[in-house]
Structure 1
Amino acid sequence: MFLYKRRPKQLGRHTPNLWPVWLVAPLALILVGAVAYGLYQGADALLRAENTGRKPVPVQDVIKTTVTVLTLVGAVLAGMYAYRKQLLDEGASHRADAAQLAERYTTAAEQLGHDQAAVRLAGAHAMARLADDWPEQRQVCIDVLCAYLRMHYEPDSSTAGFKTGEREVRLTITRIIRDHLQDPTAATTWCGCDLDFTGAVFDGGDFRDSRFSGGRVNFSGATFSGSGVHFIRSTFSGGMVFFTGATFSGGMVSFARSTFSGSEVYFTRATFSGGMVSFTGATFSGGMVSFAESAFSGSEILFRDSTLSGSEVRFLGLRVDGAAFIDWGPFPAIPDNQH
């Protein structure tokens, strides 16, 4: 026995998965014929029952009743056809939108790879707008911006490979990401998305008031140097944030008045050399922050007015060499040269 098997629905398809015409048309004719015959017999029986003892029911009345009902059925079928046509039109519209979004993605990616900094800036903004307009591929657009920050970067103008205007492009991308991490309830929020900054070089940057909630945020192996990098008043709640093996050298990295709540933040094996890292006024509650096996050398670490409540802060294996720890707040002081 021949059985027709519908094709499986494919991801990314916008065309309705409809039955083929060669199968639907004969079935429709058979169905209409059966319905017409059934209606005719039913109408005839009904009219005969209502005219018991009278003269036979005229065939014209039976046909008239049958045609009336068939007209109603035809109207229903016409409505179904119109609905089917609407589905096809919507599928065509979705495909057109998808093609336009894909074209925008290609254009923005090409701009990010351009030699001129101004064009790269335009590409960064174009990719961010595309992420807002394309929720299904938002993570992909975010990955592209993060990948740009992970590319090789020479902040020193006297070094080979230095690109004029590159610092401004990177600072702009950082600001774009920060602006999308302000309100988790916004329709275009990037909160909860994965952010991969592995090995990135941050020669300055501003993540203040950001909300790292959910998702996986990875600064592992990143370098924070030059002018300040700010996470002031940021919230780390839920999810995991990695600064594993990161290097904090020169300048200031500030987590002042930030909140670490219900998340796991790892500064494991991080290196703090020179400059200052501030957790002034930070709140540690209901999560875990680990400085295990980190190395502090010639830097200042501030925990002034910080609060520890229901949270775990680990310093296991911490290496200290000439670092100045100022105002530890609720934390116990760690003597110099502790291993």
Structure 2
Amino acid sequence: MAARGERSGPDPRSVMRRSLSLHVAVVLLVSALIVCILAAALWLLLGRPGLHVAGPLKSGDVYDGIKIALAIVAGAGGVVALVVAYRRQHLNEVSEEREHGRSFTDRFGAAADQLGSDQPAARMAGAYAMARLADEWHQERQMCIDVLCGYLRMPYPPDPPADEPGFTAWQRERETRKTVLRLIAAHLREDSPESWQGYDFDFTGAVLDEADFRGARFTGGDIIFIKAVFVGHDHDQVVFDEVEFAEGSHVYFRLAEFRSGTVRFDRAVFSGGWVTFDTSRFTGARVNFRDAAFSAGEVRFEDAEFSDGLVDFTGTTFTGTIVDFGEHRLESLHLTLPPARFTGGTVDLSRIAAFTHPPRFGLQSAPEGLLLPPGTPISDLP
């Protein structure tokens, strides 16, 4: 019975030596087999010549035999040397890869610690460190992105506190959150040296009072703003200007609240993918879709509530995207979502540029607050 604290099991070094010996033996056997096969093939190609014994061996024949034997021994030694060199190189590469992975893990822990710091400057440095790590650690890039998004999902008051110390702390935290959003948005643009397009971004429940996604491209993955709160202060706003929602992307604004400030989708291009505002609430913000292009994909507003604020579609073109404000049945869930509710807000479609593929409303009469192009009865929009 082994003494307490004594390691049990085979010695790793002896295991490695046995593995190397087995490797060498296998290579030698394979080499000998190949030589035999080549000799047999050559013999067959030469017409199966017979072996003629010409009497006793001469001294020259003995020397030739010795040379052949030495050549075989040298060849075997070369094979062994190649195997040993290959194994050494392989072990070195494995060791370097392990050390490289350990350095990434250490950097990840350090960046996460900084993001959890009580000091605003350390949190901001942690955001940059985590973004840099995501650029370099391709294997775990999604995990680094999840940490940055997780930081934005942490509790954060949408309105600043009234007391001065609380307001100062709120402003400092706000700067850190703006930095995280700026880093994410920069990696979603075409000119980013390291693109994060196609990855998942989860902003569930996040409070967004200032963010600039201008020029970003959502080309795949799930972009989740479920239960997010969009709230602006003074001139602050959330900007999706010139964003492209391309094929393969799934963007969820479900249950989001557009409470105040301005949220802009000006000149945005809906060229594919799936964007949903279902069950979201427009309760006071101004949401602009000015000069946006709805050319493909789906954009849904089922069960959305427009109780205040303005949703402006001036200059927008509807040429192919399914834009649905009406009732929608989810067959897979056996659930029907009711049409959008207009209880005080304004949805302005009166100055659109093209209406060749108009939105669907599923209403018999236009509710107050829904402005359609002149001469377009809502009955024409099933």
| TM class, shorter-length | 0.7 to 0.9
Structure 2 match to 1:56:
57
Of 225, 238, 262 in structure 2, the residue corresponding to residue 229 of structure 1 is 238
Q: Which moved more, 1:127-136 or 1:55-64?
A: 55-64
Q: Which moved more, 1:295-304 or 1:243-252?
A: 295-304
Q: Is the 8 A contact 2:27 2:79 kept in 1?
A: no
Output the CA distance in 2 between the equivalents of 1:26 and 1:314.
68
Q: Is the 8 A contact 2:28 2:79 kept in 1?
A: no
Of 197, 201, 204 in structure 2, the residue corresponding to residue 195 of structure 1 is 201
Of 61, 73, 78 in structure 1, the residue corresponding to residue 76 of structure 2 is 73
One-letter amino acid of the structure 1 residue matched with residue 95 of structure 2: A
Q: After superposition, what is the alpha-carbon deviation per residue over 1:191-228, rounded to whole angstroms, capped at 9, x for unaligned?
A: 00000000100011111111111101100100000121
Q: Is the 8 A contact 2:255 2:281 kept in 1?
A: yes
Structure 1 match to 2:12:
none
The 5 A counterparts of 1:139-288 are: 139-158=142-161, 163-164=169-170, 165-183=172-190, 188-226=194-232, 227-237=236-246, 238-288=248-298
Structure 2 match to 1:117:
120
Partner SS state of residue 274, structure 1: strand
Q: After superposition, what is the alpha-carbon deviation per residue over 1:26-77, rounded to whole angstroms, capped at 9, x for unaligned?
A: 68469869959x99xx9xx9xxx78753642544432321111220232132
Of 367, 374, 377 in structure 2, the residue corresponding to residue 335 of structure 1 is 367
Q: Is the 8 A contact 1:193 1:216 kept in 2?
A: yes
Identity level (%):
39
One-letter amino acid of the structure 2 residue matched with residue 56 of structure 1: L
Output the CA distance in 2 between the equivalents of 1:147 and 1:67.
68
Output the CA distance in 2 between the equivalents of 1:245 and 1:89.
53
Structure 2 match to 1:13:
none
One-letter amino acid of the structure 2 residue matched with residue 122 of structure 1: A
Q: Is the 8 A contact 2:24 2:83 kept in 1?
A: no
Of 286, 302, 306 in structure 2, the residue corresponding to residue 296 of structure 1 is 306
Output the CA distance in 2 between the equivalents of 1:335 and 1:28.
84
Please, which runs of 5 or more residues in structure 1 have no aligned partner? 1-18
TM-score w.r.t. the length of structure 1 is 0.84
Q: Is the 8 A contact 1:257 1:282 kept in 2?
A: yes
Structure 2 match to 1:7:
none
Q: Is the 8 A contact 2:20 2:84 kept in 1?
A: no
Output the CA distance in 2 between the equivalents of 1:233 and 1:23.
60
Please, which runs of 5 or more residues in structure 2 have no aligned partner? 1-14, 44-49, 327-338, 371-382
Q: After superposition, what is the alpha-carbon deviation per residue over 1:274-322, rounded to whole angstroms, capped at 9, x for unaligned?
A: 1310001111112000011101122111111111122100001111122
Output the CA distance in 2 between the equivalents of 1:86 and 1:149.
45
| Change over 3 Å in CA distance of 1:26–1:141 after alignment to 2 | closer
| Change over 3 Å in CA distance of 1:190–1:53 after alignment to 2 | same
Asked if 1:126 corresponds to 2:129, the answer is yes
| Change over 3 Å in CA distance of 1:28–1:168 after alignment to 2 | closer
Q: Is the 8 A contact 1:181 1:210 kept in 2?
A: yes
Q: After superposition, what is the alpha-carbon deviation per residue over 1:85-116, rounded to whole angstroms, capped at 9, x for unaligned?
A: 00100111111111111000000000000111
Partner SS state of residue 275, structure 1: strand
Partner SS state of residue 159, structure 2: coil
Task: Kindly report the root-mean-square deviation, in angstroms, between the aligned alpha carbons of the 2 structures.
Answer: 2.9
Q: Is the 8 A contact 1:319 1:337 kept in 2?
A: no
| Change over 3 Å in CA distance of 1:20–1:271 after alignment to 2 | same
How far apart are residue 159 of structure 1 and its match? Answer: 6.0
Output the CA distance in 2 between the equivalents of 1:26 and 1:225.
68
Q: Is the 8 A contact 1:155 1:167 kept in 2?
A: no
Structure 2 match to 1:10:
none
| Change over 3 Å in CA distance of 1:105–1:26 after alignment to 2 | closer
Matched residues, number:
312
